[in-house]
Amino acid sequence: MFNAVIKKPKITLMFILVVTIIGALTYTQLPQREIPEVTFDIGTIGTVYPGASPEQVERQITSPLEDELVNLDGIADMSSVSTSGFSNIVIEISESADRERVFSEIRQTVSDVSADFPSEVQTPDLSEEVQLGALSSYHLLSEDRENLYELNGMLDDWEQQIQAIPGVQGTLVKGIPSEELVIDIDYDALLEEGLQIPDVITALEEELNTAPLGVERIDDENVQLAIPQTQEIEALEDLSIGLNFSDEPVLLSEVGTISIERVENEDLITYENTPAASFTVIPDDGVDIPGLNETVDERINALAADLPAEVELDQFYTQNTIVQQIFGDLALSFLFAIIAVVLVTLLGLNLSSAAIVALAIPVSILIGLVPLPFMGVDLNQISIIGMIIALGILVDDAIVVGDNVQRKYQEGLSPVEGAIEGTKEVRTSIITSTLAIVFTFLPLVFITGANGDFIRALPSVLITTILASTVIALSLVPIYLIWRQKRKERKDKGRKAANEEPAVKVGLLGKQIDKLADWYSGKILRRVVKHPLKVAISGLVFCILCYGLIPFIPVVFFPSADREEVTVEVRLPAGTPIDQTEEILFDMADTILAEDEAIYETAIYAGDGLPPLFGEGMTNTGEETGEILLRTDREIQSAEETISRWTEPLQDAYPDAVIELGTIEAGPPVGAPIAIKIQGPEMDELKTIRDEMMDYISSLPETATVVDDLGDDRPVVLYEPDRELMEENGITLNQISEQIGLATEGIPLEDFDDGTSSIPMQLIVNGDNDELVLDDFVIPSQASGDGGAPDLISLEDLVSETRTEQTPLIARENGDRTITVRVFPSDDGQQDLEEQIESYVEDTVTASGFDNDYTISIGGETEDRDDFFVELATLFLVVIFLIYIVMAIQFYSLLMPFLIMSTVFLAITGAIIGLFITQTGLGFMAMMGIVSLSGIVVRNSIVLVEFIEQRRRAGVPLEDAVVNAGNVRLRPILLTAITAIAALLPVAFSGDVLFVPLSISIISGLLFSAVFTVVLVPAFYMVLKRRSARKES
């Protein structure tokens, strides 16, 4: 087939041109983003239970839901937090499950269970989340926060308009409180009229919740029947809520007031000492970030034209800036890589061969882009780095074909015969080595979880590009060389003597490489073939000893991104009001700014913390939590240095706060380095175990910070009921709790529809009172009397107040109560700290005699890293097996594949040496580089061994065949290795924290493998063949 392709160049070139044009069009249409979309199939169920304690929320909301949800198929993990007045359940869907089916079953289950919830509980809200990260975030700034609060209605319109833009998933407004319709009842006035709170609620429900009237046939026409709905707030004031003692109607305005009021603000935001509100845009899946950002920014600026003069719009964050910076840096690395590859090929190949190699680069890459949209891959820094790695590999086939065809021309073959014979001679080894590379990277496509989503673009790009390069090498390269050779022969005709050998240039350093090949084959290989066993054993021993360097290589799963943002998460004692939280955050920011010249910008988010700009954001937030964003000048101080500098001083200055500094990780989020989960039925016992553990861990010198997700107990007023008095008057505990709840939280009612929008409606009692006065509230006695008005029993008589403390929240994982302790080690102390914690946990479990009800487990980044390495090791075995099968089929031998794959062992040795010398972290990307080496380096040994086999089939003696093959194949082996190294050198020197480990492992592995392959592989081959010969004899 390939011979026919070479013989019919016009059809071949037309086909290649068409596919290349399609690839160019694909490039213009591929979405661009910072990193691959890391999808999380997660559902959250949020349920509001006004005024309920964490125990009540757990017992009446969380537990019933979890008990039913745990029985559903397709749920991988479930966690929950029950806090005051709110239940939040997070559900992770299994990767293999039908997402739509699972969420449909979850909705039905939530609907069924919520039917039995107490009447005060609001309808549970189920939301589906598939990704993290924001497109852009804007600040609305004003010197007076009241000016921002006036923007409530305007921002509702902004949200509608921005969400209408295709590609926008949603928007998030922070720092502006929502509004609600508040009906404030004067309790004394209501009692004087002989009415109770239920009378008010009933009157409102009957006024606002009218039944549909249906359709009636009138004069042969179906007519819809309707009754006017109350849509004006003023109309509610004239609503009759019942009759007084004189049987006269009592209007709502006579016993209360109606007004639209702001809900208490959940966030207090300040940017550069100016009050602010935040407007964040969340992109949809698979969108082009630059294109969407341009559309959204244009619309936002148009809307901002209507802002009041005292309010200013400022763009706080945009992913597009990062995308442009990353693509600019990678484009520069890509350009340098192309130049380096072309220059290297010029060193060893003549100009015509180097030209076709240079042409093969863009053509292979563009053709390789064609399948990417169907594989769900877009343009991001992972796919771009995949192309850069491919640069050094894709020219290998072109170099091998070009070098072999030129050798045939030197032997005197005609242009067409030389191209066909030269291509045919290396075709099998090229296809085999390509399959080896494809089989190397194919299993990486199936890495599970967030790590798989993050890295999948790399193997996808490499597979498609390498396949394209193989086709180009076996078609376009020989066609070009035929044309070039014919042209050369026409020029040389008439100028050469009849028997004169045509002069063929072999590159800028061609003669030097030829001399090196002669020296290598005559001096080195001749000695190797004389003593192959000694050489093989010496090489193996050296490599095995090098593996002992692994414990001395730092382990970093995902390094911190080289970004300017540093976040300071702050958790104050439970019960701290939000204005006090804001004040403490101000003090922290002022201290940092006064002493650290590297910090040039701050933003303070008291309450729920930052919007999801750099990840998930804070969890389990409240008035006592907040976050500071610091932007550092990286020329003066890196983010990591900022964290190291301020972690201890801030914690020492604010001992009552839990402070956690962090920055953006160059990969999917992995959580704390060490996370310890304590699970069991009783919170008191769990807290005791936690306290002892945290005291021990805090005392260790290797510990930098230790925090837990529970925090300190919060102050509580406990109302102890007088059971005897309650029984005497027929009063229930529910009546007492309803009365207290009315005075504090109020009762949520149906939303009020004004014809254009709905607004939440809340009923409260004596809203003007700052504190709850029990004597102001009474409950009618149900005891039988003389038929007159019932006695009114004061709440002060029914309950007694006691100040105490209670757990601020109850966390559960898969139905078990859980406290998670997160540990952040000091620099270089993680390994020792892990061992000490593991020992402590084992001793604690043994000494305490835990039964099956209580468990302690250690996880966090360490567990994630170990799980990933186990998964990668499994995939690596699959890779080795697939390569073995390909080699076994090509050489029809069960032993020869082991010889070929010895280069993998050599390459890994080189990677270990490189990581050790540079002290580069052994983590996710370094391991990706090591796995990648498995397919890259076998090409050289395949070409070398295949050539030896060809010489032996031609009748050449064993030693001479090995020496001759080494002499002929040294040039392509060196050129392919150096081109791959040259392509990655710009990345290695770029300083990119994510890709330097990958490039270091590949470069050092290739360098070591190239040098040792030309020595050890011939030695292994000689040992193998001599052993086989002895067996046969």
pLDDT digits (tens, 9 = 90+) for 461-489: 989 999 998 999 888 888 888 888 888 77
Query: In this predicted structure, what is the pLDDT of residue 903?
Result: 84
Give CA–CA dist 951/780, Å, rounded. 108
Is 304 within a domain? no
Domain end: 806, 821, 844, which one? 806
With CA atoms as reference, report the closest residue to 307 among 139, 136, 138, 140. 140
Please check whether residue 386 is in contact with residue 462, taking contact to mean a CB–CB distance below 8 angstroms. Answer: yes
Number of domains in the chain: 5
Does residue 103 lie within any of the structural domains? yes
Alpha-carbon gap, residue 403 to 384, rounded angstroms: 29
What length does the chain have?
A: 1033
- How far the first Cα of the chain sits from its last, in Å, is 41
Does a structural domain hold residue 880?
A: yes
Residue type, 463: I
Q: What is the CATH number of the domain that holds 990?
A: 1.20.1640.10
* CA–CA distance, 184 with 18 (Å, rounded to integer): 74
| Selection from 595, 631, 625 nearest residue 608 by Cα | 625
Within this chain, do residues 115 and 63 fall inside the same structural domain, yes or no?
Answer: yes
At CA 931, angle to CA 928 and CA 933, rounded to 5? 110
Give the Cβ contact number of residue 902 at 10 Å: 25
Q: Give yes or no for a contact between 659 and 651, defined as CB atoms under 8 angstroms apart.
A: yes
Report if residue 952 sits inside a domain.
yes
Residues 6+ apart with CB under 8 A from 239: 203, 204, 207, 230, 251, 252
Contact 808, 710 (CB under 8 A): yes
Residue with tokens 């008291």: 606
- CA gap 214, 535 in Å, rounded: 96
DSSP 492-535: HTTTS-TTPPPP----TTHHHHHHHHHHIIIIIIHHHHHSHHHH
Same domain, 875 and 938: yes
Domain-located, residue 589: yes
What is the Cα–Cα distance from 666 to 439, expressed in whole angstroms?
Answer: 27
**Which residues is 708 bridged to in the sheet?**
821
Report how far residue 630's alpha carbon sits from residue 636's, in angstroms, rounded to the nearest whole number: 14
255 and 392 together in one domain: no
- The pTM score is 0.77
Domain shared by 51 and 101, yes or no? yes
What residues make up the domain containing 635?
A: 560-664
Same domain, 252 and 401: no
Domain match, 877 and 1024 both:
yes
Scanning 174-285, the segments in alpha helix (DSSP H) are 187-192, 197-208, 233-237, 252-255
- The answer to whether residue 763 sits within a structural domain is yes
Question: Do 555 and 585 fall within a single domain?
Answer: no
Per-residue pLDDT at 16: 92
- Report how far residue 185's alpha carbon sits from residue 183's, in angstroms, rounded to the nearest whole number: 6
Does residue 6 sit in helix, strand or coil? helix
3-state secondary structure of 619: coil
CATH of the domain at 727: 3.30.2090.10
- Whole-angstrom distance, CA of residue 4 vs CA of residue 610: 63
Strands 179-185 and 758-765: parallel
As beta bridge partners, residue 223 has 216
Per-residue confidence (pLDDT) for residue 465, from 0 to 100: 92
Residue 398 placed within a domain? yes
CATH code for the domain in which residue 637 is found: 3.30.70.1430
| Alpha-helical regions (H) of 131-250 | 145-149, 152-163, 187-192, 197-208, 233-237
CA distance 737 to 805: 19
Residues 482 and 522 in one domain: no
| Cβ burial, residue 839 (10 Å; 0-12/13-18/19+) | exposed
Using a 10 angstrom Cβ sphere, with 0-12 exposed, 13-18 middle and 19 or more buried, the burial of residue 85 is middle
Q: In the numeric block, which tokens belong to residue 220?
A: 């042969």
Q: Is 823 helix (H, G, I), strand (E, B) or coil?
A: strand
Final residue before a domain boundary, out of 761, 791, 806: 806
What's the CA gap between 316 and 280, in Å, rounded?
9
Interatomic CA distance for residues 186 and 767, integer angstroms:
8
Which pLDDT value is given to residue 944?
84
What are the per-10-residue average pLDDT scores of the chain (1033 residues)? Answer: 82 92 91 77 85 88 92 88 88 83 91 88 80 83 92 90 92 89 87 85 85 80 82 86 88 89 87 94 88 93 93 92 82 80 77 77 90 89 84 78 82 86 85 84 80 84 91 88 82 56 60 86 88 90 91 78 86 88 94 92 92 76 90 89 89 88 70 82 88 88 82 82 86 81 78 81 79 77 66 84 85 89 76 83 74 78 70 81 84 83 87 92 83 78 83 87 87 82 84 84 90 87 84 70
C-beta of residue 858 within 8 angstroms of C-beta of residue 838 = yes
Residues 725 and 798 in one domain: yes
Same domain? For 719 and 586 the reply is no
Q: What pLDDT is stored for residue 495 in this prediction?
A: 53
Both 910 and 966 in a single domain? yes
Q: 520 and 639: one domain?
A: no
Residue 672 lies in a domain: no
Judge contact between 958 and 1025, C-beta under 8 A.
yes
**Which ranges in 520-638 belong to alpha helices (H)?**
526-530, 532-546, 578-595
**Using a CB cutoff of 8 Å and minimum separation of 24, what contacts does 498-504 make?**
501/410, 501/412, 502/409, 502/410, 504/350, 504/406, 504/409, 504/410
Of the three residues 113, 129, 145, the one that is the final residue of a domain is 129
